[in-house]
């Protein structure tokens, strides 16, 4: 997410000011509704825009906030709004644990189920919600008109400014990692579960606040406010405006509120016009109208931040030894790893070789926690780590690069730099020289030497045996998941089994 520049900040402030000075009561009401739906959309941007998870419960939680205000405003007045925030955030926090562990499509279905339960409660728990008749006559102690407009837009402006400021920096880069490459994020120590939990709860709280303000605007709350059309309005408005742009929710809400009024003469056919407008934006401005306006203004897109390897690598503290003892991994009836045992010391570089399918990448995945070992132990000094989550393993001292680049705009060096930035004592490098030029291979050899000098332990996979022979202290050869040779590079290369299984039968015959 880019920072909120002066142009957009001025637009954000001028809209409510002009509404107060120029517009009649009906126009002010429209501006209030824009602010209300934008506030719901800003909350939705946290989960859908920043983390890429399709949450289908935002509209129902908006309804929870509305019902809460309707029930508590007669006694609490304006204080019913904080209660609405809590009322929406609480069920989100309760269900977040199980549903945030689900894969993306199952997460969407689970949030849809939550929305359905809330809607059913609104319809059938008549003693509280009033059933199909809903609730009315609760606004006596709530602000109305210009005062409500000021409250809505102050809440919205503060929320947008804070969110834009947070996600314009390192937090935005971590969110990009979680969105585009969750496995990479985990191996860098980023706890995706905690991020999604916090985003889901805060987004739900904003939905509750928006729903409470909506109740103050309309003065009536019925089950329709928890229905799926509200969720569709939220989703389409965020997509139209821009899911990750600070002003995306505002522009999308303005379209969603104003377009039906502008196309009132078309009666129900306005939905067709709205669908057509949505399709055009998705086709011609997939990043949203706010980004399209920035492009017209000549504002250049903010390039993703690619880390670089520092010129001087500081010595690291932490564990001294990584030990594998009898590590095994099976996929069905296939033994990917069979009793793998070795040690890696700080300041040592070990190369992992073997034919394709010999288990090299699987071994790195098991060490880093991306796969669970079926047997054996993995220790950092005296601490067992093969029961830890990937982000926890990264935090105790094991970093990782990947075989192929996972992030748009990143380079091969940037992938390694991500791992170095964690300060890990041990680095697992998966084919960092794949497809590299001679110059890049030379730079990689220099980098590995610097890592050794800084006291890092490096376990590196590559098919370039000459590169590994120059840079590694030892080589380990895997064949069908088992260690068949381990020792200094010259010793391993001379091993008949290695020459046959990895270097090729023709060389073995020489």
The whole domain housing 451 covers: 321-508
Q: CA dist 40 to 108, 214, 217, 263, 494, Å?
A: 18, 10, 15, 24, 66
Q: Are residues 64 and 208 in the same domain?
A: yes
Q: How far is CA 480 from the centre of its chain?
A: 36
**Tell me, what's the pLDDT at 403?**
79
How big is the chain by its Cα radius of gyration, in Å? 28
Vertex 88, ends 87 and 93: CA angle to 5°? 100
312-330 per-position pLDDT tens digit:
888 888 899 999 999 999 9
Q: Are residues 206 and 345 in the same domain?
A: no
Q: Are residues 218 and 366 in the same domain?
A: no
Looking at the structure of the chain, the number of domains it has is 2
DSSP conformational letter for 481: T
Residue 239 falls inside a structural domain = no
Instruction: Please provide the DSSP assignment of 46-96 as one string.
Output: IIIIIS------HHHHHHHHHHHHHHHHHHHGGGHHHHHHHHHHHHHHHHH
A 10 A CB-CB count for 50 gives 24
Q: CA dist 469 to 341, 472, 493, Å?
A: 21, 6, 9
**Tell me, what's the pLDDT at 499?**
86
**Tell me, what's the pLDDT at 436?**
83
Strand blocks (E) in 244-357: 321-331, 334-345, 349-353
Residue 280 falls inside a structural domain = no
Question: Shortest CA distance to 465 belongs to which of 351, 356, 375, 361?
Answer: 351
SS3 for 94-152 is: HHHHHHCCCCHHHHHHHHHHHHHHHHHHHHHCHHHHCHHHCEECCCCCCCCHHHHHHHH
Q: Are residues 216 and 336 in the same domain?
A: no
Domain final residue, candidates 173, 201, 227:
227
N residues, the chain? 510
**Tell me, what's the pLDDT at 102?**
72
**Tell me, what's the pLDDT at 159?**
96
Beta-bridged to residue 330, according to DSSP, are 335
**Tell me, what's the pLDDT at 510?**
40
**Tell me, what's the pLDDT at 161?**
95
Q: Tell me whether residue 269 is exposed, middle or buried, using C-beta atoms within 10 angstroms of its C-beta: 0 to 12, 13 to 18, 19 or more.
A: exposed
Q: CA dist 276 to 214, 289, 301, Å?
A: 27, 15, 27
Q: How far apart are CA 147 and CA 213, in angstroms?
A: 12
Residue 365 falls inside a structural domain = yes
Residue 234 falls inside a structural domain = no
Residue 412 falls inside a structural domain = yes
Q: Which residues contact 348 (CB under 8 A, 6 or more apart)?
A: 452, 457, 458, 473, 474
Give 10-residue mean pLDDT values along the chain (510 residues): 85 95 94 97 95 92 97 96 96 84 80 94 94 93 95 97 91 90 91 91 97 96 93 90 94 88 68 73 82 89 78 86 96 92 96 92 95 95 94 94 72 83 93 86 92 94 92 94 94 89 52
Q: Are residues 60 and 196 in the same domain?
A: yes
Q: How far apart are CA 384 and CA 339, in angstroms?
A: 17
Q: Are residues 223 and 325 in the same domain?
A: no
DSSP conformational letter for 359: S
Q: Are residues 218 and 336 in the same domain?
A: no
Following CA atoms 10, 12, 18, 24 in sequence, which dihedral angle do they give, to the nearest 10 degrees?
170
Q: How far apart are CA 360 and CA 149, in angstroms?
A: 61
Q: Are residues 223 and 328 in the same domain?
A: no
Helix, strand, coil % over all residues of the chain, rounded to 5: 60, 15, 25
**Tell me, what's the pLDDT at 487?**
95
Domain final residue, candidates 208, 227, 246:
227
Is residue 55 helix, strand or coil?
A: coil
Cα dihedral sign, 125-127-133-135: negative
A 10 A CB-CB count for 489 gives 19
Q: How far apart are CA 189 and CA 22, in angstroms?
A: 52
> At 330, phi and psi to the nearest 5?
-120, 145
Residue 304 falls inside a structural domain = no
Q: How far apart are the first and last CA of the chain?
A: 59
Residue 264 falls inside a structural domain = no
**Tell me, what's the pLDDT at 247?**
95
Residue 80 falls inside a structural domain = yes
Domain final residue, candidates 227, 250, 266:
227
The tokens describing 46, both together, are: 């946290």
Beta-bridged to residue 383, according to DSSP, are 380
Question: Residues 120, 66: contact at Cβ < 8 Å?
Answer: no
Q: Are residues 371 and 473 in the same domain?
A: yes
């Amino acid at each position: 997410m880019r920072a909120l520049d002066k142009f957009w900040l001025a637009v954000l402030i001028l809209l409510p000011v002009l509404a107060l000075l120029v517009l009649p009561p009906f126009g002010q009401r429209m501006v209030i509704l824009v602010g209300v739906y934008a506030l719901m959309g800003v909350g939705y941007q946290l989960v859908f825009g920043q983390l890429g998870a399709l949450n289908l419960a935002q509209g129902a939680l908006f309804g929870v906030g509305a019902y809460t205000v309707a029930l508590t405003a007669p006694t609490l007045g304006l204080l019913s709004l904080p209660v609405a925030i809590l009322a929406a955030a609480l069920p989100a926090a309760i269900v977040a644990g199980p549903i945030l562990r689900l894969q993306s499509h199952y997460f969407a279905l689970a949030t849809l189920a939550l929305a359905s339960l809330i809607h059913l409660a609104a319809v059938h728990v008549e003693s509280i919600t009033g059933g199909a008749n809903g609730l009315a006559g609760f606004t006596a102690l709530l602000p109305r008109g210009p005062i409500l407009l000021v409250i809505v837009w102050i809440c919205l402006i503060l929320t947008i400014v804070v969110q834009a400021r947070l996600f314009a920096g390192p937090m935005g880069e971590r969110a990009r990692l979680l969105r585009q490459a969750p496995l990479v994020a985990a191996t860098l120590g980023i706890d995706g579960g905690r991020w999604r939990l916090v985003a889901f709860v805060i987004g739900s709280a904003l939905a509750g606040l928006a729903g409470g303000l909506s109740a103050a605007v309309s003065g009536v709350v019925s089950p329709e406010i928890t229905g799926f059309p509200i969720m569709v309005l939220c989703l389409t408005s965020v997509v139209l405006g821009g899911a990750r742009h600070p002003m995306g929710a505002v522009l999308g809400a303005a379209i969603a509120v104003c377009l039906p009024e502008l196309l009132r003469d078309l009666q129900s056919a306005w939905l067709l016009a709205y669908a057509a407008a949505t399709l055009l934006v998705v086709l011609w401005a997939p990043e949203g109208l706010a980004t399209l306006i920035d492009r017209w203004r000549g504002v250049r897109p903010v390039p993703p931040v690619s880390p670089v390897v520092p010129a001087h690598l500081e010595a690291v503290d932490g564990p001294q030894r990584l030990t594998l003892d009898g590590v095994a991994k099976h996929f069905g009836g296939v033994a990917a790893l069979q009793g793998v045992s070795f040690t890696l010391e700080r300041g040592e570089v070990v190369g992992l070789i073997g034919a394709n399918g010999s288990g090299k990448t699987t071994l790195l995945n098991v060490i880093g926690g991306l796969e669970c070992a079926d047997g054996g132990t993995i220790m950092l000094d005296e601490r067992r780590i093969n029961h830890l989550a990937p982000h926890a393993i990264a935090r105790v001292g094991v970093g990782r690069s990947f075989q192929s680049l996972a992030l748009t705009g990143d380079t091969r060096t940037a992938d390694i730099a991500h791992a170095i930035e964690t300060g890990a004592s041990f680095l697992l490098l998966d084919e960092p020289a794949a497809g590299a030029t001679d110059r890049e291979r030379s730079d990689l050899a220099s980098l590995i030497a610097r890592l050794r000098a800084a006291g890092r332990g490096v376990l590196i996979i590559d098919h370039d045996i000459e590169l590994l022979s120059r840079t590694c202290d030892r080589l380990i050869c895997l064949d069908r998941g088992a260690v068949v040779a381990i020792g200094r590079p010259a010793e391993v290369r001379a091993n008949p089994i290695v020459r046959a299984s990895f270097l090729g039968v023709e060389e073995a015959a020489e």
